[in-house]
Amino acid sequence: MRERSIPEATVGRLPLYLRALVEMAEAGATTIRSETLAEAAGVNSAKVRKDLSHLGSYGTRGVGYDVAYLIHQVRRELGLTQHWPIVIAGVGNLGHALANYRGFAERGFRIAALVDVDPRKIGEVVGGTTVRHLDDLAAVVKQNDVAIGVICTPASAAQEVAERMVAAGIRSILNFAPAVIAVPEGVSVRKVDLAIELQILAYYEQRKAALADVKRRGKAVADLAEVSPP
């Protein structure tokens, strides 16, 4: 293949493959089959092969993929050969957790700054970074060439923070606040909502309970089947 613009679904899985590949490499593997990689990433092998074929033909028929080379290719495709300075806005519980999360640094994301508006938090050192005032955002972004912002504020502040980030030159935002934020064309937003994930689980859980109920009573089960999310 080797085309511009990889399918969105594939992009979403590349980091998964990358993590699995790095683990394999650390375990000493030099070569890997699509089947093995699939298992480690929690998908099926056809998907792995199709996904990887979008990056190019990096496998060897009858053998598999060279682990180190594939890691390099996936990193390059994802843009992880460079380092990404990020800014976290909102140093509450979640902001704290993210600031201390070692997984970011391991993957090339450096926390350039933490910002908040609470005067009690400013000056505090969290995860090795001193908390600054939100007003310093523009300066920090310019100085460190920050392209990615993370919003960990309450929902009520999310839109304003997003606007400030965009004004400061940030073009990619990861939003943990339980709110929809509006941004101009050209700015990417991804959101993670912890409560939403639980609600989705609750739906399937409830259906499982209903199914068990029906089974117990010996009613027709056909139309309640397939209750688990794939």
Partner DNA sequence: CAGTGTGAACCTTTTCACAGCA
Partner DNA sequence: TGCTGTGAAAAGGTTCACACTG
> Site residues for a copy of itself, window 133-162 (CB under 8 A)?
147-148, 150
149 touches DNA by CB under 7 A: no
What's the CA gap between 61 and 214, in Å, rounded?
Answer: 50
The nearest distance, CB 214 to a copy of itself, in angstroms, is 10
Letters for 32-51 (x = contact with DNA by CB under 7 A, - = none) are xxxx-------xxxxx-xx-
Two structure tokens written together for 220 = 């027709």
State the binding partner of 10 from a copy of itself, DNA, none, CB within 5 to 8 A by kind: DNA
3-state SS class at 229: coil
What's the CA gap between 168 and 89, in Å, rounded?
Answer: 13
Nearest CB to a copy of itself, comparing residues 62 and 186: 186
- Residues 81-120 touching a copy of itself, rule: CB under 8 A, are 82, 84, 86, 92-94, 96-98, 100-101, 103-104, 106-109
Residue 77 has what DSSP assignment? H
3-state SS class at 164: helix
Instruction: Report whether 127 contacts 111 (CB < 8 A).
Output: yes
The nearest distance, CB 216 to a copy of itself, in angstroms, is 16
Count of residues of this chain found to bind DNA when the rule CB under 7 A is applied: 28
For the chain, what's the residue count? 230
